[in-house]
Chain A
Amino acid sequence: MAIRDALLPEFDHEMATTRKTLERVPEDKFGWKPHEKSMTMGRLASHVAEMPAWGTVGVKQDSLDLASGYKPLDAATRAEVLAAFDKNVAEARAAIAGASDQDLMGNWSLKNGEATLMTMPKIAVVRTFVMNHVIHHRGQLSVYLRLNNAPVPSIYGPSADEGSM
Chain B
Amino acid sequence: MSIAQALLPEFDHEMATTRRVLERVPDDKLTWKPHERSMALGRLAGHTAELGGLIPSAMTTESLDMATVGMKPLDPASRQELLGIFDGIVAKARESIASAKDEDLMKTWTLLVNGKTIFSMPRAGIVRTIFLNHVIHHRGQLSVYLRMAGAPVPSIYGPSADEGNM
A interface, CB within 8 angstroms of B: 6, 10, 13-14, 34-35, 37-38, 66, 112, 117, 124, 127-129, 131-133, 135-140, 142-144, 146-147, 149, 155-156, 160-161, 165
Contacts and interface: CB of A to CB of B under 8 A. Distances in A.
B68 interface: no
26 contacts: A6-B124, A13-B129, A34-B34, A34-B147, A35-B148, A37-B147, A37-B161, A37-B162, A38-B147, A124-B10, A132-B10, A132-B132, A132-B157, A135-B136, A135-B137, A135-B140, A138-B137, A139-B143, A140-B141, A140-B143, A143-B38, A146-B34, A156-B133, A160-B38, A161-B37, A165-B118
Interface string B1-44: 00000000010011000000000000000000011011000000
Interface string B131-147: 01110111111011101
A35 B147 contact: yes
B157 A129 contact: yes
A29 B134 CA distance: 27
Nearest to A14: B133
Interface residues of B, number: 34
A156 B133 CA distance: 9
Nearest to B153: A37
A156 B161 CA distance: 28
A150 B57 CA distance: 36
A128 B166 CA distance: 17
A29 B35 CA distance: 17
- Ordered nearest first, which 7 A-B pairs have the shortest CB separation? A139-B140, A136-B140, A139-B137, A37-B161, A143-B144, A160-B37, A165-B113
Nearest to B143: A140
Contacts of A34: 34, 144, 147-148
B136 A132 contact: yes
Given A156-B129, A165-B66, A139 B147 contact: no
Given A136-B140, A137-B140, A142-B141, A147 B147 contact: no
A139 B129 contact: no
B98 interface: no
Contacts of A112: 166
A128 B157 contact: yes
